[in-house]
Amino acid sequence: MPDFLNKIKSLAELEKIVTELKKQGKSIITTNGCYDILHLGHILSLNESKEQGDILIVGLNSDQSVKKIKGSIRPINGQEDRAKTLAALEFVDYVFIFNEETPIEFLKILKPNIHTNSIDYGYDCIEASTIKAGGGKIYLLKKYPGYSTSDLIKRIKK
């Protein structure tokens, strides 16, 4: 088994890991998404997220939650493959899969120092009050026009 697969954790495992890392003075960065078909926009956003601190944790929407958010034909790639692909990236420290449509529940548990989000959602995003309550802040990622899984799928259908 490749070493990078050890980066895939349960939320309970991550809660313990994050507690220990914070004791060591490490800053915890979280981000989340579907990451259905990994593309350059994802890579740039994940790298930008990692640049905000020490440890980058990616919350990955489960297949069930992707279907609720994106529709019945999504995801294209299953959650296990998506998690393994993210874990293979050197700037991603940990990955876990969550079933909810929003990251609110895992953010309450992990209490990251910084949560990164698309500039499309702004500082008043759905996660903002949870992040602030946990002592963290929101960082808005640059937009990379033309790079979205939905755009890629539309191009394929043409």
Q: Which residues of the chain have pLDDT under 50?
A: none
**Of 48, 49, 57, the residue nearest 22 (C-alpha):** 57
Q: For the beta carbon of residue 157, count every other beta carbon within 10 angstroms.
A: 6
Options 1.10.10.10, 3.90.470.20, 3.40.190.10, 3.40.50.620; CATH of 3-157: 3.40.50.620
List C-alpha distances in Å: 87 to 57, 67, 123, 150: 10, 22, 28, 22
And the tokens for 43?
Answer: 């890579």
Domain extent listing, the chain = 3-157
Query: pLDDT tens, 110-137?
Result: 999 999 999 988 899 999 999 999 999 9
pLDDT for the residue numbered 63 = 93
pTM of the predicted model, to two decimals?
Answer: 0.93
pLDDT of the residue at 157: 64
pLDDT score, position 45: 96
Q: Give the model's pLDDT for residue 153.
A: 66
